[in-house]
Amino acid sequence: MRTADFDFDLPESLIAQSPPPVRGASRMLVLDRVTGAYSDKRFTDLPAHLNPGDLLILNDSRVLPARLFATRARSAQTQASSPDPSGRIEVLLTQQVAPHTWTTLVRPARKIQPGEHLHFHAKGEVAPVLTAEVLEAGEYGERTLLFAPADDFEQILTLLGHMPLPPYIHRDKLAPDTEEDRARYQTVYAAPLGSAAAPTAGLHFTPEILSELGQKGIQIETITLHVGLGTFQPVRADRLEDIRLHAERYTLPETTATAINAARREGRRILAAGTTTTRTLEHCATLAPELYPHSGETTIFLSPGHRFQIVQGLLTNFHLPQSTLLMLVSAFAGRKNVLAAYAHAVEAKYRFFSYGDCMLIL
């Protein structure tokens, strides 16, 4: 199959620029992956579509304020006196690969080569709060940075960093984050810090919905997959077999592995909230007949033809045309079914992408 097989027309006006006024107030398109039938619902209807005994898996990764702005270090004689006025460098942290070492996306990248030093300044401060050396240069603006050790690195990120909103959400990059973006581009159950983008299917959940699901007898467990570089890189291959994804780190806890093994033995339905959760579970299913607690990395690419071993239901947002996430959803529900549902969503003016509405595929 070709990447172009997953294209669709989307009016720019349907790309959500902000979350709904109230968390959980999204629309939800319910799709039967066998028949292709769909119906218009609300996310608050989710408990009505799940059954007692169902197992729902969430991705609890917390989003880093991962977008930073740097200046290039000047000569040894002058770099301590003032920031380089030649222009800001945008640095997006995508994954920590070693102590103090991160893979990043850098823009503009052409002049930022190994050996270069970058300085990160707090507003109004002359001395840098953080410094980093460029260790390696990759394709498409990828750079590996070694940061000077800082005991309060997470606090510095909170001070200097911006939430890594996708480029189709238009904000003044240099302006401080809005309180709304800081709160709403994060799930209510986010725990370990490490993602460079939100697992957006989880943005719809509220404590009230989670409580209602629990009261109905739906079991809820978590995995952690830290969303990384692949979310920000467009597909550059024409054929699906040529697509390669960047590695992303994950953790499968003991309680979740035990719950999934039990649900599979007992024939209970297992549902994933989001494509990140789906990829993690399907990757783990390739490692052994029964799941076991561990941490690792996955590069798994789920496309039409994949035989799903664990996930039987999927809650997901609406994805970009020709994206690997749309290919994953099409692998789960069938390309024709998915594209027909997307055409209906466009006609019915659903809100698309990270801050948009969602689909429940059963």
pLDDT for 126-181, tens place per residue?
A: 899 999 999 999 988 999 999 999 889 999 999 999 999 999 999 998 888 999 99
Is residue 176 assigned to a domain? no
CATH number for 105: 2.40.10.240
Looking at the fold, whether 202 and 123 belong to one and the same domain comes out as no
Residue 124 lies in a domain: yes
Q: Are residues 98 and 201 in the same domain?
A: no
CA–CA distance, 257 with 263 (Å, rounded to integer): 10
Torsion angle, CA of 299/68/76/83, rounded to 10 degrees? 160
What is the number of domains present in the chain?
A: 2
pLDDT at 184: 97
Is 61 in contact with 155 (CB distance < 8 Å)? no
**pLDDT for residue 198:** 96
175 within a domain of the structure (yes/no): no
Q: Would you say residue 174 lies in a domain?
A: no
Average pLDDT, the chain: 93
Nearest to 94 by CA among 297, 232, 224, 200: 232
Do residues 273 and 334 both lie within one domain? yes
CA dist., res. 119 & res. 298, Å (int): 32
Beta carbons of 122 and 160 less than 8 angstroms apart:
yes
Can you tell me the distance from the alpha carbon of 10 to that of 157, in angstroms, rounded to the nearest whole number?
35
Same domain, 314 and 247: yes
Closest CA to 91 of 62, 134, 53, 61: 134
Confidence of residue 240 (pLDDT cuts 50, 70, 90): very high
| Host domain of residue 115 | 67-161
Given phi > 0 = left and psi -120 to 50 = alpha, else beta, which region is 323? beta
Q: Which helix (H) or strand (E) holds 333?
A: helix 324-333
Q: What is the tens place of the pLDDT at every residue in 241-261?
A: 999 998 999 999 999 999 999
Task: Identify whether 171 is part of a domain.
Answer: no
Mean pLDDT of 82-96: 76
Task: Give the chain's end-to-end CA distance (angstroms, integer).
Answer: 24
Cβ-based neighbour number of residue 184 at 10 Å: 18
In a domain, 91, yes or no: yes
| Helices 275-285/324-333 angle, 10° precision | 70
Domain boundary among 161, 192, 211: 161
- Tell me: do 279 and 219 sit in the same domain: yes
Q: Are residues 223 and 346 in the same domain?
A: yes
**Do residues 56 and 73 both lie within one domain?**
no
